[in-house]
Amino acid sequence: MTQAQSFIHRFEPGRRPDAPPLLLLHGTGGDEADLLPLGRAVAPGSALLSPRGKVLEAGMPRFFRRLREGVFDEADVQARAHELADFVAEARAVYGLMAPVALGFSNGANIAAAALLLRPEALAGAVLLRAMVPLSDAPAADLRGKPILLLSGRMDPIVPAENAARLAGMLAEAGAAVQHQILPTGHGLSQADVATTSAWIRELAAASPDSARQAG
Ligand code: MLT
């Protein structure tokens, strides 16, 4: 655990230059250790940067305040998304990283979606697991060319299907290359999330300029 920067976080250096660094963003009640095994599984050899959310809800870390389940304190969402984007910039300078691809689950996916809309330059793309619309009145973002994988659960009791579809529409409208898949599962992660995310990250790495340089 490192505390030298603005978020408590874990960092694992990458072993493959063609593998995109991942920004791991845990769900409510998680911490910086939570998604490291998932990151290692879906992107072997990628650098992993994993901060702990700074907001505490009944002692459980989160990335922004909410008024109740599914109802967000949007001023806090905005401030926290900027704070996270600033941390990413700091960490990139300290660790010598390319812009990372966010891999967020639940509350972590929601802050990643907010960061994409408010600070598109902070992220090269994102995997959003069980995300919902983070801001009711988001600014017009330019997400042209950013790859985004959104995985929703058909039986998710927290994220209504209409809300996930609206998020996919907002991101696509901003120019992102959105792949939205609805899996036969609930809010929790399933083996299908791991397999779909692994395949998507493999394709992303194969299409990156670094791998083109290595191949050529
Ligand atoms: C949120 O608060 O971000 C969503 O309701 C997901 C959750 O953390 O339960």
Closest atom of ligand 1 to CA, residue 109: 3
CATH hierarchy code of domain 9-214? 3.40.50.1820
DSSP annotation string for 142-199:
--TT-EEEEEEETT-SSS-HHHHHHHHHHHHHTT-EEEEEEESS-SS--HHHHHHHHH
187 catalytic? Reply is yes
Active-site pick, 18, 106, 152, 193: 106
Task: Give residue limits of the domains in the chain.
Answer: 9-214
The residue to which tokens 């992107």 are assigned: 43
pLDDT digits (tens, 9 = 90+) for 50-89: 999 999 999 999 999 999 999 999 999 999 999 999 999 9
Closest atom of ligand 1 to CA, residue 130: 6
pTM comes to 0.94
Q: How far is the CA of 17 from the centre of ligand 1 (A)?
A: 33
Q: How many residues does this entry show for the chain?
A: 216
pLDDT digits (tens, 9 = 90+) for 170-206: 999 999 999 999 999 999 999 999 999 999 999 998 8
What does the buried/exposed string (b/e) look like for 14-33 if buried means 16 or more CB atoms within 10 Å of the residue's CB?
Answer: beeebbbbbbbbbbbebbbe
Is 37:81 a contact under the CB 8 Å cutoff? no
